[in-house]
Copies of this chain bind each other. A is one copy, B any other.
C-alpha cells in the first residue's frame, strides 16, 4: 500500500463514522444489539429492568426507528427481553430451568476424536408393533413398522446399542433401505425433518442382553436414552439407545437465550 501523508491520516481519525463502518462491516444494528446484550448479560440491567424506549435509542445512536425496532424485536424473539405496547421493553426473567443436551452423532464424534467408527446391523425386520408400544406412540396396534437393531462401535469397542422402530407409512423409503452406508439415525436425520420430539433418560442395571452386547458386567449401571419423534403429529421413529454407564455421559453446554442456542445464527456470529 502507498504511504499516506501524516496530515491526511490525522484527518482520517477525525472522519465521519459512516465510511469506517462501511469498511469494517460492523453494522449499526450489530453494535446496538451487542451493547444491549452486554448490559443484560453483565447484570447491569437485571431481569425486570426497563430498557430505553425506541425513540431514546434512536437519539443515542442517531438512527431511524426501524433500525432499533428490528434489534429489539430480535432480542424479544430470542427471549432476552419482553416488549409491550405503551409499557416499553423490559429484561426478561429467565423462565424455566432447562437442560439442552447435544446428542452426539457417533460417526461425527469419533471423527472429531480421531477414532475409527463403524456400525453393525444386528436385526432388520418388518413386524406389527406390540400393544404397549402402539399405545405409547399413538399408532394403531395392527400397523407394521420397521425394526432395526444397531451396534455402534468406536475403535472396535461397543459404544452404544440402538433399538429403533420406524413408521413405514411416514418413511416409505426405509422399506428398502439396508443402512450399510449410514446407521438408521443418521440416515433419517438427513432425510426426514421432524417437528416434535420427546426424550426420556433413565439409568438401568445391565441385564444379560446388555452384558453381552456392551461387554459390561451384569448389573453395572447403563444410561438409556429413549427418543421419539413426530412430524406434524405423525409418528416417525422411536430409538432406545443404551450406553455403558461408566464409559459414557451426556453433556450439554448452553445459554438460556440468544448466544449459545444456535451455533450458526444469522450472519453475526461474533458473540
Contacts and interface: CB of A to CB of B under 8 A. Distances in A.
Given A96-B105, A97-B105, A193-B47, A198 B260 contact: no
B43 A231 contact: yes
A44 to B, nearest CB: 10
Contacts of A74: 77
A200 interface: yes
Interface residues of A, number: 73
Most buried by B among A97, A201, A223, A246: A97
A34 to B, nearest CB: 13
Interface string A179-196: 000000100011011111
Contacts of A123: none
Interface stretch (A15-23, A129-137, A161-169, A250-258): A250-258
A64 interface: no
A79 B269 CA distance: 13
Given A196-B255, A251-B198, A252-B199, A43 B232 contact: yes
Contact of A201 (B223, B254, B259, B262): B223
30 contacts: A41-B195, A43-B231, A77-B265, A79-B262, A95-B262, A95-B263, A98-B102, A98-B103, A98-B252, A99-B100, A99-B101, A99-B225, A99-B250, A100-B199, A101-B101, A101-B199, A101-B201, A196-B255, A197-B256, A199-B251, A200-B250, A202-B223, A203-B203, A203-B204, A204-B221, A205-B205, A205-B219, A219-B219, A221-B221, A223-B223
Interface of A: 40-43, 46-47, 70, 73-74, 76-79, 82, 93-105, 185, 189-190, 192-205, 219-223, 225, 227, 231-232, 243, 245-246, 248-257, 259-260, 262-266
